[in-house]
Amino acid sequence: MKALVYHGPGVKAWEDVPAPKILSDTDAIVRVDAVTICGSDLHILKGDVPAVTDGRILGHEAVGTVENVGAGVKTVKIGDRVLVSCITSCGTCRFCRERRYGQCLGGGGWILGHKIDGTQAEYVRVPFADTSTYPVPAGVADEQILMLADILPTGYEVGVLNGTVQPGDVVVVVGAGPVGLAAIMGARLFSPSHIVAIDLADSRLEAAKQFGADVVVNNSREDAEAVVAGLTGGLGADVTIEAVGLPATFEQAVRLARPGGHIANIGVHGQPVTLHLEELWIRDVTITTGLVDTYTTPTLLRLVMSHQLDAARFVTHHFALDEFEKAYDVFARAGDTGALKVVLTRT
Amino acid sequence: MKALVYHGPGVKAWEDVPAPKILSDTDAIVRVDAVTICGSDLHILKGDVPAVTDGRILGHEAVGTVENVGAGVKTVKIGDRVLVSCITSCGTCRFCRERRYGQCLGGGGWILGHKIDGTQAEYVRVPFADTSTYPVPAGVADEQILMLADILPTGYEVGVLNGTVQPGDVVVVVGAGPVGLAAIMGARLFSPSHIVAIDLADSRLEAAKQFGADVVVNNSREDAEAVVAGLTGGLGADVTIEAVGLPATFEQAVRLARPGGHIANIGVHGQPVTLHLEELWIRDVTITTGLVDTYTTPTLLRLVMSHQLDAARFVTHHFALDEFEKAYDVFARAGDTGALKVVLTRT
Amino acid sequence: MKALVYHGPGVKAWEDVPAPKILSDTDAIVRVDAVTICGSDLHILKGDVPAVTDGRILGHEAVGTVENVGAGVKTVKIGDRVLVSCITSCGTCRFCRERRYGQCLGGGGWILGHKIDGTQAEYVRVPFADTSTYPVPAGVADEQILMLADILPTGYEVGVLNGTVQPGDVVVVVGAGPVGLAAIMGARLFSPSHIVAIDLADSRLEAAKQFGADVVVNNSREDAEAVVAGLTGGLGADVTIEAVGLPATFEQAVRLARPGGHIANIGVHGQPVTLHLEELWIRDVTITTGLVDTYTTPTLLRLVMSHQLDAARFVTHHFALDEFEKAYDVFARAGDTGALKVVLTRT
Amino acid sequence: MKALVYHGPGVKAWEDVPAPKILSDTDAIVRVDAVTICGSDLHILKGDVPAVTDGRILGHEAVGTVENVGAGVKTVKIGDRVLVSCITSCGTCRFCRERRYGQCLGGGGWILGHKIDGTQAEYVRVPFADTSTYPVPAGVADEQILMLADILPTGYEVGVLNGTVQPGDVVVVVGAGPVGLAAIMGARLFSPSHIVAIDLADSRLEAAKQFGADVVVNNSREDAEAVVAGLTGGLGADVTIEAVGLPATFEQAVRLARPGGHIANIGVHGQPVTLHLEELWIRDVTITTGLVDTYTTPTLLRLVMSHQLDAARFVTHHFALDEFEKAYDVFARAGDTGALKVVLTRT
């Protein structure tokens, strides 16, 4: 079969590789019908993720059709249309039983396209299939469901739920890239009074408005603290969500939260940040971090089915499966292309 | 001044009475600018509330202007435009410090138009003014704010929050009168996947759709259990809210909840109900009851200000203050008149 | 092998039956080392549980040694010492993924000694072994761990956690049988200011004191409402726990709760109860019901290991495995024998 | 009257000053019967708290007798025995209504001995007396209640409750000074499986055992990470509590928490800390900070009354009121004197 293979920093190829086989009796082999590219795939390609080695097939998001299952697979059947989630769950370890699948101690967590071959291929082997795939309801488009593989649960769980967004809140989202937009869309489900999006790019701020922000601040020329103070009687935001992954944006997110406020970090950070405990010790703040667990996938499916979430809004570009080179290029140059999520479909 | 005075079952009059005076240093005297009638006022008029005696001025909802304050009032000033809430809070007792103002042990709770003279008058004395009134922001219409005096916090706190409505839930509201509609409007803030309204009157079900229900069931000719089963894979609703106050509707609300579901009672009940513990003991249900505390008033104000809640939607009829007889008549014959909330305004 | 077999109302026998075999690849066969009898086994013997039919081996609690496992069992190994829990969990259905194992939709729930053969035997087949057994740590006695099969998680989850017991609370437990005592022991973990035990038998109330109650009330001659009022400034208890299963005791539990209080039902009820909503609608109460899920088993294991829970305190009588007739007799006549839990051990 | 007056860094005196008078109608004048010294008084004396200026009477903890009340004081009466809490609450601002009294916007918060004259005097003026004092029940010693003025609610709210300690948890407390000991005592209320105390002084670790720690680690010669790993299967602690206020100890508290764990900061920090988000972003941690609100004072009173908390255990030294110089000296040299809390009593 064909797959998108990583060959060290900066090098990838859509090339022939052996088709995956069942290695454990809880595996399923899934034919990939639709797949997307994640910001973390770009990180991997830069060489920032040492666990990914030469020869690895990338990708951790797919919608597909079950081609084969191991003898121990109980609920997933050949022919089922399934969502392949970015997080694999053994289903039996301590953390899986606490719904903290991202921290799975039994061989799961984020492994697809990372520690084992991933979804950017014609077929993918999915371990622990019963607890790591989700049935796709009839009548929903693949590309809507595909957004539930990573970006929507990440924004919703790590941003909105960890941040405990409530009706009437003033919510600030620092960073209006795809994950920040997912946080905005997820926050809107709780009817905050205001969602303030902060970014450096006007085009992203324009997108933020489409996704539900009612106030936007360009960090390069506007004063976010003054804007938030104006909305909150000078107190600060109820919830701030960091969706960039840099010290400056994290520190801004902390600064913009009110006494008693929540700061939810989604950003993938590569270096330490300074926490001003000399000011914060007395301010009653709560700071959370987290890898997505995808425990809300069934909820998000219901929200898509009932038109509470317009998941397809993320999809800006469509490609055929064998156009991975072009798709990566468009996605990597998002500033120019306006790409949020690109979808590659089996034709 | 003029006031609407209760003179025993079935008898009321808009008549001259002495203007209220400050009796305690924490009182405020408020000039009533807008006032409404509650379903409980109708109950009182039937003689169902023995605590209300001959001579009592009715009413527990108003928006007005502060005319005078006692020496101990700190934050409320003469000339302030305020919401007079149905619940009065002493601010210092155990329950008030726990935000359970409806159970105030210090002389508050539901007292206006019940144990002391109420708001259906040209002026009203409001005890514990600092903790029992809320400043009205500039730029909002009185009649919007007036809906926060009772009906919106009742639906939101006792129905939606006690019921713990969450995004993606299937929510059932039994009874689509004004309080049931408030619960529907409040539930919508949490983006449930479906809100099912149940009633006997098609006109109320039509209103329910306007307020946010996407499925309606006429109990007189449709099978609510089948409808809810169809929406929930046979499991039952995540949350059911009882907004009628009769044994049959409460028992229906219990029956429609799924294993692990919540049943939130808002209805004012006059008789016991049968609880089928022989079926329920094993079903993991949670049943809540409650009097409104109005602790969400600041949140609801923010939601109205930011257009997340269209509070004015409740207002079907307008009258001048001296048209109380007519307003009561229209409100009492809601089946014919389509009245939800009537507003009487100082002219 | 030998097993305790049900042969219709009132009839049971310790008799030869075929040894269990692996029927599904997720099964384990466990050699029973220690087993106990539950109050629900007595209910079954009276004929009150129609799902239990002639020929069924009874029992749903055991500690044992794994004799064999199916090909799909991943974490449980032959020779492992395990706790066999009263609740079987498929691990993949909606409710199992929400830790609501008692409501398992995938073939689990309470099935042992109910819908399939149980633990009162020399060997037992345990379905879904990976998610339905728990490893027994070294250095703990079988009979301590055996109390985690049903009684301790039932009291803790359905009574204490559902009732949300908090430090400083006044907690009332109605019924001081084994499950009530488990609720008392579990409540003590949260340092309530008082635990009031209510029963009709002085011997049970004496046991209640040993398990952590500091106030006892004999319902046959003392006034529980006066006692609770005296402890709570007339308000009522923060949490009441019903551990009997009769209308009168449930209604007492409701009556004893304060405004804003919680009533947690553990009792297995055979008939409806009257809920006085005409008084309760305004009192802000929360009523919960529930079947145990055993999701706290790992926590309870840690509490036993660290000597926070003295689980062995329940064990009043010891027998050999082939003394089931005698053990049932002693357990059934608890009023005379003082039996709380009887343990039968392989010798 | 006599009072302990601050005269700039390093200078204090027990000297004659004018007796306090009622300045606002919600004030009370309280005769100080028992008073203590807080670690923050030592900070003030070093000149670290610029808001405290020459002439200020120090102290924010007292038990006393009400000598006089303003006309607006409703529930506090002359002759009442009261606890004067370190936090003053206006009772009407947004934060006070949310029980976040430490952040009071209406003139309260931590003001005694800070922004206004404090309790280390024969008499003290207490603003907002109805919401800033608590009645002392009969039959409890002053010195027990005095521990509820600051240290016990600080350890309990900011450490234990913010950290969400639960039964069975492994809890680490970094720093075994008085506040750390209060956190240990408060954590014990929730029956954790282990409480690990970490400090540099063996004498403090010995005290930690008396207060409920079952494992102690001397940071100067033992490896805390290895100890915690040994107790937790290598995962890390469920909850870590920082009770020192230095970068190194905060960073240790963060490092010792497991994936999904909580880090509760109590320490008063004077400089920023480094937060290793490059490791933490993926670890699902929750970090909280906070000033005490004293909202648990009524709960703590019930726990002292019912002997769940032995508050007097903190009191190591007793003095007469006019021995402030000596008391400060003993408290400041805690390393030598073993002082935890010193109590000065009117004789």
Tens digit of each residue's pLDDT (9 = 90 or more) over D100-117 = 999 999 999 999 999 999
- Six-digit token string for A167: 């009706």
Three-state DSSP class for residue C318 = strand
Q: Which tokens go with C125?
A: 């087949």
D99 and B94 within 8 Å at the Cβ level: the answer is no
Element (H or E) spanning B184, and its range?
Answer: helix B178-188
Question: What pLDDT score does C347 carry?
Answer: 86
First to last CA, chain A: 15
CATH architecture label of D153-288 = 3-Layer(aba) Sandwich (3.40)
Alpha carbon distance C328, C11 (integer Å): 12
Nearest by CB to residue B291, choosing from C103, C282, C289, is: C282
Question: Per 3-state DSSP, what percentage of chain C is helix, strand, and coil (rounded to 5)?
Answer: 30, 25, 45
d(C-alpha A207, C-alpha D130), whole Å? 52
Please state, in angstroms and rounded to a whole number, the distance separating the CA atoms of residues B245 and D308.
43
D145-195 pLDDT, tens digit each: 999 999 999 999 999 999 999 999 999 999 999 999 999 999 999 999 999
pTM for this one? Answer: 0.97
pLDDT score of D271:
96
Assess B132–D contact: CB distance below 8 Å, yes or no.
no
Other chains touching C, judged by 3 or more CB pairs under 8 Å: A, B, D
The SS3 assignment for D133 reads: strand
B270 touches C at CB < 8 Å: yes
Cβ within 8 Å, pair B283-C273? no
DSSP string for residues in A225-269: HHHHHHHTTTS-EEEEEE-S--HHHHHHHHHTEEEEEEEEE-S--
Six-digit token pair at B218?
A: 């006429």
Q: How far apart, in whole angstroms, are the C-alpha atoms of residue A183 and residue A193?
A: 15
What is the residue-wise DSSP string for B9-62?
Answer: TT-EEEEE-PPP---STT-EEEEEEEEE--HHHHHHHTT--TTS-TT-B----E
Contacts of C212 (CB under 8 A, 6+ apart): C184, C185, C187, C188, C195
Distance (Å) from the alpha carbon of D48 to chain C's nearest alpha carbon = 36
C-alpha count within 13 angstroms, C-beta hemisphere, residue B114: 18
Average pLDDT, chain C: 97
The CA distance from B275 to C272, in Å, is 6
CB contact under 8 A, A97 and C72: no
Measure the CA–CA gap between D302 and D299, rounded to whole angstroms. Answer: 5
A281 touches chain D (CB under 8 A): yes
Residue whose entry in the numeric block shows the structure tokens 């807008």? B34
CB atoms inside a 10 Å sphere around CB A159: 30
Backbone angles phi, psi at B135, to 5 degrees: -65, 140
CA distance D181 to B98: 28
Distance CA C293, CA C265 (A): 15
Q: Taking each helix axis as running N to C, give the angle between helix C178-188 and helix C202-211, from 0 to 180 degrees, rounded to the nearest 10.
A: 30
Give which of C161, C193, C303 to mutate to test D binding, by max D Cβ within 10 Å. C193
- Inform me whether the C-beta atom of residue D302 falls under 8 Å from chain B C-beta atoms: no
**Cβ D64 vs Cβ D344: under 8 Å:** no
Contact C91/A at CB under 8 A: yes
The pLDDT value given to residue B285: 98
Give the residue among A214, A208, A215, A190 at the shortest CA–CA distance from A308: A190
Cβ-contact A132, A88 below 8 angstroms: yes
Phi then psi dihedrals of residue B241, to 5 deg = -125, 125
Q: Nearest 5°: CA angle at A93, between A72 and B169?
A: 85
Angular region, D10: left φ>0, alpha ψ -120 to 50, beta rest: left
Residue A193 forms contact with B (CB below 8 Å):
yes
Which residues fall within 8 angstroms of residue C248, CB to CB, at 6 or more apart? none
User: C-alpha distances in angstroms, D325 versus A115, C123, D330?
Assistant: 66, 75, 9
- The answer to whether residue C55 neighbours chain D at the CB level (below 8 Å) is no
For residue A106, the model assigns a pLDDT of 97
Within 8 A of D286 by CB-CB distance, chain A residues are: 286-288
Domain chopping of chain B, boundaries: 2-150+294-345, 153-288
Q: Give the pLDDT confidence score for residue D139 in this predicted structure.
A: 87
Distance from CA of D63 to the nearest CA of B (A): 20
Cβ pair C80, C34 in contact under 8 A: no
B276 touches chain C (CB under 8 A): yes
CB A297 within 8 A of CB A8: no
Distance of CA C38 to the CA centre of its chain: 7
A139 has pLDDT over 90: no
Model confidence at D336, pLDDT cuts 50, 70, 90, reads: very high
**pLDDT by residue (tens digit) across D6-49?**
999 999 999 999 999 999 999 999 999 999 999 999 999 999 89
- Are C306 and D166 an interchain contact pair (Cβ–Cβ within 8 Å)? no
pLDDT per position as a tens digit, C55-112: 999 999 999 999 999 999 999 999 999 999 999 999 999 999 999 999 999 999 999 9
Nearest CA in chain B to C102: B282
Query: Any idea which residue has 């916090």 for tokens?
Result: B153
CB C336 within 8 A of CB C204: no
> What pLDDT, in 10s, does the model give residues B48-59?
899 999 999 999
Query: D95 in contact with A at a CB cutoff of 8 Å?
Result: yes
Q: Is D255 on the interface with A (CB under 8 A)?
A: no
Contacts of B248 in chain C (CB under 8 A): none
Closest CA–CA distance from residue B167 to any residue of chain A (Å): 7
Of the candidates D190, D194, D302, the beta carbon closest to that of C190 is on D190
**How large is the average pLDDT for residues D310-321?**
97
Please judge whether D103 and A289 are an interchain contact, meaning their C-beta atoms are less than 8 angstroms apart.
Answer: no
**pLDDT of B124 higher than 90:** yes
C97 vs A contacts (CB less than 8 Å): 99, 131, 295
In single-letter form, the type of residue at position C123 comes to Y
Which residues does chain C have within 8 Å of residue B245's beta carbon, measured at their own beta carbons?
Answer: 281
Neighbouring chains of A at 3+ CB pairs under 8 Å are B, C, D
- Model pLDDT, residue A347: 86
C170-218 confidence digits (pLDDT tens): 999 999 999 999 999 999 999 999 999 999 999 999 999 999 999 999 9
- Residue A326's CB is within 10 A of a number of other CB atoms, namely 14
Contact between chains at B295 and D75 (C-beta distance less than 8 A): no
Of A166, A194, A308, the CB nearest to B191: A308
pLDDT of C127: 98
How large is the average pLDDT for residues B209-218?
A: 98
Closest chain C residue by Cα to residue A130: C92
Rg (C-alpha) for chain B, rounded Å, is: 20
> pLDDT band at B43, cuts 50/70/90?
very high
Check residue B225 and give its pLDDT.
Answer: 98
Q: Work out the pLDDT band at C161, boundaries 50, 70, 90.
A: very high
Q: Hey, is C216 helix, strand or coil? A: strand
Report the pLDDT averaged over residues A81-108. 97
Is pLDDT of B347 > 90? no
Rounded to a whole number of angstroms, the CA Rg of chain A reads 20
Mean pLDDT of D126-148: 96
| Closest alpha carbon within chain D to A272 | D276
Contacts of D94 in chain B (CB under 8 A): 298
In whole numbers, what is the pLDDT of chain A averaged over residues?
Answer: 97
Tokens 């019921």 correspond to: B163
Chain D residues whose CB is inside 8 A of the C192 CB are: 308
DSSP assignment of C245-300: --HHHHHHHHHTEEEEEEEEE-S--SS-EEE-HHHHTTS--EEE------TTHHHH
CB-side exposure of C217: number of CA atoms within 13 Å?
23
B268 close contact with C: CB closer than 8 A: yes
Q: What are phi and psi of D247, to 5 degrees?
A: -55, -45
CB contact burial D285-314 (16+ within 10 A = b; e otherwise): bbbbbbbbbbbbbbbbbbbbbbebbebbbb
C307-327 residue pLDDT tens: 999 999 999 999 999 999 999
Please tell me the distance from the alpha carbon of residue B343 to that of residue D168, in angstroms, as a whole number.
Answer: 56
| Residue-wise pLDDT tens digits, A178-212 | 999 999 999 999 999 999 999 999 999 999 999 99
Query: Is D308's CB within 8 Å of C189's CB?
Result: no
Q: Domain spanning C2-150+294-345: which superfamily?
A: Medium-chain alcohol dehydrogenases, catalytic domain (3.90.180.10)
Find chain A residues with C-beta within 8 A of D291's C-beta. 281-284
